[in-house]
Amino acid sequence: MSIWKATKVAEMSAREKAHMEKVRKFAAEGMVLLENDGTLPLAADTKKIALFGNGARHMIKGGKGSGDVNSRSVVGVEQGILEAGCEVVSGSWLDEYDKICTDAKGAYDARVKDLIENSGNPMAGFMEIFNNPYHDPDVQEITDADMADADAAVYVIARDSGEGRDRKPVAGDYELTDNEKKNIEKLAARYDKFVVALNVGGVVDTKALRSTKGVGAVLLMSQAGNVIGTVFADALFGKSIPTGHLAMTWAENYSDYPAFDTFSSQNGNVDDEYYNEGIFVGYRYFDSFGKKPAYPFGYGLSYTSFDISVKDVSLAGEELTAKVEVKNTGDKFAGKQLVQLYVSAPDGNVEKPVKELKGFAKTKELKPGESDELTIKVKVSDFASYDESKASYVLEPGKYFIRIGENACSTHIAAAVEVAGEIVTQKLANKMKVDTDLNEISAKGATPLTYDGEESEKAAAKVLTLDAGAIKTVVAEYEGAPTEYNCDKAEKITLEDVKSGKATMEDLLGQLTREEMADLCVGTARGGFGGTSVIGTASAVVPGAAGDTSSKMATDRGVHNLVLADGPAGLRLTPYFAVDEENQYIPEQSAMAFDFAGTFEQPTTDIHGEVTKYYQYCTAIPIATMLAQTWNMDVIEEAGDIVGTEMEELGVNLWLAPGMNIQKNPLCGRNFEYYSEDPLLAGMCAAADTKGVQKHKGCGTTIKHFACNNQEDNRMHTNAHVSERALREIYLKGFEVAVRQSQPLSIMTSYNLINGIHAANNYDLLTAICRNEWGFEGVVMTDWGTTGGIEMEQRTFKYGCSNAADCVRSGNDLTMPGSDEDVKNILDNGVTRAELQACTRRILDCVLKCRY
């Protein structure tokens, strides 16, 4: 019997087609219209397009690294425009750039191949790709001869980034190149209709776009997966409407971001990262310190216009309800509008930002003249701030002003909630003490961003008084040492016995030996397929998946393995593979899960006997940032449903996604994998994604990277020094929201240290906070190779690696991808049976949910 769940049918499946069509329908909700003078959408009689830019043919569907997806095909921007019925008149310029890229990629591939064959280090090629990934070269200048007559011109600026390396504030990355600026100026002067499209996963400098006369529209098309060209063409011609809003603040200058000069490698120190911004991250900083951004958090234009009218704000107990009417005031185009609710808390013992997002809602699609009434509900207890001196979340007395509007820089006072006396909403314990003196910034004395009439609005605001006793204090209870279980039953107990009720989980745990449990708490990447596996593609069951849990007890205990596959823009699996007559995987006849795009030539070997080929092409959905820009939880749940469907079909149990670290700085190399600078938005997006995946039998998400994986340079060995308050309000809050709203099956810890302790070895983070305070019930696993062995740099690191024994002691149940050394480490370093049983129990509970 075949163990493979993949299909033997080579042709595109009905599932592939259906999923691409679903993405096509909802992806425009994540495209953000930054500028538009009426140029977009292009008129129906547009027949000729002058198309330029490095993203015209070489667009980016998603980022590099483990988050890439091996989809069957990718629809490019040019292809999308052609399929929309337009002629592209700039083919010769595009052909010339193709040749530049082909030559550059050939030289890069040759260098990598030389490292593989001649360096003497088997990891040299992999390290080069991660440390110095290939990027397409700068574009050539556009000449007068290149600019043929056309109805409109489109210039596509593409930027990619990825795992293992942060971006740089230089031309060709965060900044535009001189050639890009010159080309935009020439096109703006030549064509009456000129659109700049940003095929980027993060922030780029937009000053040149905003200052060049003749740039009619700027569309953040983002990175929408393998149908990106079709999605873009639909928005370009008005077949779909871009209704996205930014999930991160786009500054006027990179230097406007807090810690711009100390982030990651900017100061030459990648060993220690000092989070001196404290809670002032993103719009919290820009608002409080009076920094006007180029485009504020939550910003997004439409093809139409809207009127937002607050009808009522009421308070019942601690639940605040805002009713807002939104009307499409345009006369031509439909659209959707986002409404955001922020709260301004009074200063007291704890300093507060100017405002914080507490709720939001998005309308249905409104036709011209049509209205929709939105209801936004929030809890006053969520207005509390963490006071380290009291180890509690506290509502300090005073007025909490409710602000409602369309983005962080466009709100108005709608009401105020009066809190008469101090209220402790949660009584906790300080668990994440900072390990050094921080020089956290303060907004005291700074002039915040404001607007005419703000003080008058505050004075006239409707005051809602919070009833005494409306909020009860929640007191956290922290567990003690785990209980050891013993079982003297003679018959061997299986997991099926536990499932059927013939035995208890405690009986099974009591029978398991320390050796059995240690093996289960370590993944199975101990060689892979014929010793050829690459880190991150080590599954023995689903080729190309990142890894498995142990199946050594499958026969005698019925503990089947769990299959784990990378994300978050879809499933990263081997697109096709071959097996021989004995059903054994044939590496030489199979594709590679990591797409090195020709870097490695597939070896060819004569195989005697029958060879069977299998196919497991997956859908590349929009990147996480683009999903967040929809601000539509139904859309994000649908994206999760797409992934869950493919997991169920192909036999994947845990999706190593969504990524949900805070976009602390725009240079983080993996920002495209993360949702937002705001923890509430990030947490709600992750919860929606999780709900979409976990509606499928045997499928779960793995929210990551827990926590403070906010940089990629030296990501495995950097020490994040951060205050308890900033952790709880910013960097952990999104995870808390996701856990409370969706209970994901698993969490992945980050490589880095937090205040001197590796995240994977941090008991207070994983057990006290995540489990005892938040109620997390699932499995905690490490990121791949956190215990060492896959360093991408050959140097001495200031901080070492985590270890598998401390993983078990801290409640990090599963060490991935796993090694014999990890098992030995657990057995030889005093880990108790009770500690092993606690981790084993959670893994077995997950196996029961996924495999029974």
Q: What angle do CA 316, 425, 380 make, to 5 degrees?
A: 30
The values of phi and psi at residue 48, to 5°, are -125, 130
Give the pLDDT mean for 803-811.
Answer: 98
Query: Is 387 strand, coil or helix?
Result: strand
Torsion of CA 276, 281, 287, 292, to 10 degrees: 100
pLDDT tens figures, 346-400: 999 999 999 999 999 999 999 999 999 999 999 999 999 999 999 999 999 999 9
Indicate if the pLDDT at residue 313 is higher than 60. Answer: yes
pLDDT confidence band for 531 (50 / 70 / 90): very low
Indicate if the pLDDT at residue 245 is higher than 60. Answer: yes
DSSP 717-763: T-EEE--HHHIIIIITHHHHHHHHHH--SEEEE-SSEETTEEGGG-H
| Alpha helix ranges (H) inside 467-513 | 495-500, 505-511
SS3 content of the chain, % helix, strand, coil (to 5): 30, 20, 50
Indicate if the pLDDT at residue 506 is higher than 90. Answer: yes
33-37, 337-341, 571-575: least confident range: 571-575
Indicate if the pLDDT at residue 631 is higher than 90. Answer: yes
The C-alpha atoms of residue 252 and residue 246 are separated, in whole angstroms, by 15
Amino acid at 138: D
Which run of H or E residues covers position 182? helix 178-190
Helix axes 14-26, 633-650, angle to 10 degrees: 170
Query: Is 516 strand, coil or helix?
Result: helix
Between the two ends of the chain, the Cα-to-Cα distance in Å is 20
Q: Residues near 808 by Cβ (< 8 Å), separated by ≥ 6?
A: 521, 826, 831, 835, 836, 839
* Domain final position from 222, 242, 262: 242
Do the domain assignments include residue 329?
yes
The C-alpha atoms of residue 66 and residue 379 are separated, in whole angstroms, by 38
Active site residue 234: no
Do the domain assignments include residue 195?
yes
The C-alpha atoms of residue 3 and residue 546 are separated, in whole angstroms, by 17
Amino acid at 747: I
* Domain final position from 552, 587, 615: 615
pLDDT at 525: 66
Do the domain assignments include residue 137?
yes
Do the domain assignments include residue 778?
yes
Are residues 778 and 689 part of one domain?
yes
The C-alpha atoms of residue 789 and residue 793 are separated, in whole angstroms, by 11
Q: State the maximum Cα–Cα separation within the chain, in Å, rounded to a whole number.
A: 87
The pTM of the full predicted model, rounded to 2 decimals, is 0.96
Encoded tokens for 647: 């997991």
User: What is the percent of the chain with per-residue pLDDT over 90, rounded to a whole number?
Assistant: 88
Query: Is 141 strand, coil or helix?
Result: coil
Are residues 634 and 599 part of one domain?
no
Indicate if the pLDDT at residue 475 is higher than 70. Answer: yes
pLDDT confidence band for 795 (50 / 70 / 90): confident
pLDDT at 602: 46
Omega before residue 296 within 30° of 0, cis: no
pLDDT confidence band for 527 (50 / 70 / 90): very low
CATH label of the domain that carries residue 114 = 3.40.50.1700
Are residues 695 and 587 part of one domain?
no
CA 434 → CA 24, 576, 753, distances in Å?
Answer: 46, 48, 12
pLDDT at 672: 97
CATH label of the domain that carries residue 668 = 3.20.20.300
pLDDT confidence band for 1 (50 / 70 / 90): low
- Spatial contact of 761 and 807, defined as CB atoms under 8 Å apart: yes
Are residues 374 and 302 part of one domain?
yes
Indicate if the pLDDT at residue 524 is higher than 60. Answer: yes
Indicate if the pLDDT at residue 595 is higher than 70. Answer: no
Do the domain assignments include residue 793?
no
Are residues 93 and 184 part of one domain?
yes
Of the candidates 783, 806, 813, 822, the residue annotated as catalytic is 783
Indicate if the pLDDT at residue 534 is higher than 70. Answer: no
Are residues 510 and 403 part of one domain?
no
The C-alpha atoms of residue 672 and residue 227 are separated, in whole angstroms, by 17
Residue whose tokens read 């890894």: 547
pLDDT at 227: 96
Are residues 687 and 749 part of one domain?
yes
Q: Give the domain extent around 725.
A: 501-524+538-571+618-787+798-851
Indicate if the pLDDT at residue 530 is higher than 70. Answer: no
Pairing, β 152-158 against β 48-52: parallel
pLDDT confidence band for 603 (50 / 70 / 90): very low
Do the domain assignments include residue 288?
no
The C-alpha atoms of residue 472 and residue 451 are separated, in whole angstroms, by 36
Q: How far is CA 43 from the centre of its chain?
A: 35
Encoded tokens for 160: 């990619």
* Stated length of the chain: 852
User: Burial, 36: exposed, middle or buried (Cβ in 10 Å; 0-12, 13-18, 19+)?
Assistant: middle
Are residues 698 and 562 part of one domain?
yes
Query: Is 102 strand, coil or helix?
Result: helix
pLDDT confidence band for 532 (50 / 70 / 90): very low
pLDDT at 131: 77
Do the domain assignments include residue 279?
no
DSSP 518-572: HHHTB---SS-GGG---TT---SSSTT-SEE---TTTTTT--PPPEEEE-SSS-B
pLDDT confidence band for 65 (50 / 70 / 90): confident
Pairing, β 746-749 against β 700-706: parallel
Best CA proximity match to 575, nearest among 529, 626, 613, 608 = 613
Are residues 643 and 624 part of one domain?
yes
Q: Can you name the residues that pair with 158 across neighbouring β-strands?
A: 199
Question: How many independent structural domains does the chain possess?
Answer: 4
pLDDT at 536: 56
Give the pLDDT mean for 17-39.
Answer: 98
DSSP code of 695?
T
Are residues 841 and 777 part of one domain?
yes
- Spatial contact of 674 and 627, defined as CB atoms under 8 Å apart: no
Amino acid at 85: G
Average pLDDT in the chain: 94
The values of phi and psi at residue 299, to 5°, are -75, 145
Encoded tokens for 258: 């807090």
Q: Can you name the residues that pair with 418 across neighbouring β-strands?
A: 399, 465
DSSP code of 639?
H
Are residues 361 and 300 part of one domain?
yes
pLDDT tens figures, 538-571: 787 899 999 999 989 999 999 999 999 998 999 9
Q: Residues near 71 by Cβ (< 8 Å), separated by ≥ 6?
A: 61, 225, 226, 570, 617, 618, 619, 620
Are residues 128 and 102 part of one domain?
yes
The C-alpha atoms of residue 506 and residue 484 are separated, in whole angstroms, by 9
Helix axes 679-694, 633-650, angle to 10 degrees: 40
* Domain final position from 242, 259, 281: 242
Indicate if the pLDDT at residue 283 is higher than 90. Answer: yes
Q: Residues near 212 by Cβ (< 8 Å), separated by ≥ 6?
A: 184, 185, 188
Amino acid at 101: C
Indicate if the pLDDT at residue 96 is higher than 50. Answer: yes
425-439, 568-582, 647-661: least confident range: 568-582
Best CA proximity match to 26, nearest among 619, 630, 628, 618 = 630
pLDDT tens figures, 745-791: 999 999 999 999 999 999 999 999 999 999 999 999 999 999 998 77
- Spatial contact of 255 and 286, defined as CB atoms under 8 Å apart: no
Query: Is 161 strand, coil or helix?
Result: coil
pLDDT confidence band for 100 (50 / 70 / 90): very high
pLDDT at 537: 60
Do the domain assignments include residue 114?
yes
- Spatial contact of 546 and 43, defined as CB atoms under 8 Å apart: no
The values of phi and psi at residue 399, to 5°, are -95, 130
The C-alpha atoms of residue 274 and residue 264 are separated, in whole angstroms, by 10
- Spatial contact of 545 and 567, defined as CB atoms under 8 Å apart: no
